Amino acid sequence: MPRVAVTNPTFSLLPYMKQELLSRYPDAKFNTELEIPQMTEDWLAEFLKGYEVAVIGVEKYPESLIARLPDLKVLACCSVGVDHIDPAVMKKYQVRLGWIAGVNKDSVAELAISLMINLLRKVGTFNLGLRAGQWPKSRLGLQLRGRTVGIHGCGNVGKEVVKLLQPFGVTVLACDRVDYPDFYRQYGVTRVSPDELWERSEVLTIHLPKNSSTIGMYSADVLDCLKPGVFLLNTARGQIVDEAALKERLEDGRIAAAAFDVYSKEPPTTPLLAELLKLPNFFGTPHIGGSAREAWEAMLRAGIQGVTENAVPEPGVYPFD
């Protein structure tokens, strides 16, 4: 039986999941530090010393750390994204990765739908006004029903968003480098190019992975290609959208409103992000897309499964492409 050390602090928040892991690996050691920033490289090197498997969250494992852990054979990942993992380092040291795609897809998709309605009906803005003792002269908003909704990235989460949109009678456009003809046919989705997606979408929701091809994709030039008055959502990853360019276009109305769950820096403490969060037509949440209890359970079970189901990752091959 492998020696297992659990760095992911979420197991300590859900004791029944901790017991589930202990039922398989009774000698497992658990991290009880709830703040990820406390898990420095030195702390991780000491905590994982002598252990063959690390059940991890979203902390980074650079070569300088992996090189200090000669006994480490597996990183069993409890996260959905793997942008904190360097596949070249893993391959060099023959460390295997246990990972399952899309385990929090329901949670993220539900949040995306709620944010769409929130923006269209100005729920956040009106709530802040009420708290300040204001009763708006106009309470006018828009329905989701009947709009054209664009989905950039129709993988695990994007597909769930499509399914949840079905009762709303919307026109759904999808842009993805992979074609899903059977799925698109079943749910009445129109596959479009990026240019057509940006031109036609009244509501545009981003569900792309974070990699070399998507970082900075939504530049100022791309934001200027969006349909005037678009409602833009990002529940995927930070750094995909140029936040400075977004702020300018929210201020002048080229983009009607935006809702983001992810940021280039988390927590969003930079001056730019602080200003963005204060805009009346920007609604921010603190990276809660996968924070439903059911999603946490699914991610932790994925980590447990990754102890035995894993492979050495290949740079340039999904999910590192």
Q: pLDDT tens digits, residue range 168-178?
A: 999 999 999 99
214-249 residue pLDDT tens: 999 999 999 999 999 999 999 999 999 999 999 999
Cα–Cα–Cα angle for 277, 270, 87, rounded to 5 degrees? 105
Catalogue the active-site residues: 237, 266, 287
Q: Specify the pLDDT at position 38.
A: 73
Q: What is the pLDDT of residues 278-313, one digit of tens each?
A: 999 999 999 999 999 999 999 999 999 999 999 999
What are 248's two structure tokens? 């300018």
Locate tokens 């939504």: which residue? 218
Do the Cβ atoms of 12 and 30 come closer than 8 Å?
A: yes
Distances (CA, A) of 134 to 125, 142, 319: 11, 21, 48
Q: Tell me, what's the pLDDT at 321?
A: 77
pLDDT tens digits along 147-203? 999 999 999 999 999 999 999 999 999 999 999 999 999 999 999 999 999 999 999
Task: Give the tokens for residue 78.
Answer: 């409890």
By the 8 A CB rule, do 262 and 235 touch? yes
At 96, is the secondary structure helix, strand, or coil? strand
Domains of the chain, start order:
4-103+292-306 (3.40.50.720), 105-284 (3.40.50.720)
The enclosing H or E element of 255 equals strand 255-260
How confident is residue 35, by pLDDT bands cut at 50, 70 and 90?
low
Name the nearest CA neighbour of 21 among 321, 303, 318.
303
Residue with tokens 């968003």: 161
* Residue range 89-100, pLDDT digits in tens: 999 999 999 999
Could you tell me what percent of the chain has a pLDDT over 90?
A: 93
pLDDT at 17 over 70: yes
Q: How many angstroms separate the CA atoms of 32 and 13, rounded?
A: 9
| DSSP H or E stretch at residue 53 | strand 53-56
Say if CB 288 and CB 260 are below 8 A apart: no
For residue 160, the model assigns a pLDDT of 98
The owner of tokens 């009607």 is 256
pTM (predicted TM-score): 0.91
Task: Copy the structure tokens of residue 70.
Answer: 């000669």
Distance CA 223, CA 313 (A): 34
* Amino acid at site 178: V
* CA-wise closest residue to 63 among 50, 53, 72, 52: 72
Tell me the average pLDDT across 74-88.
Answer: 93
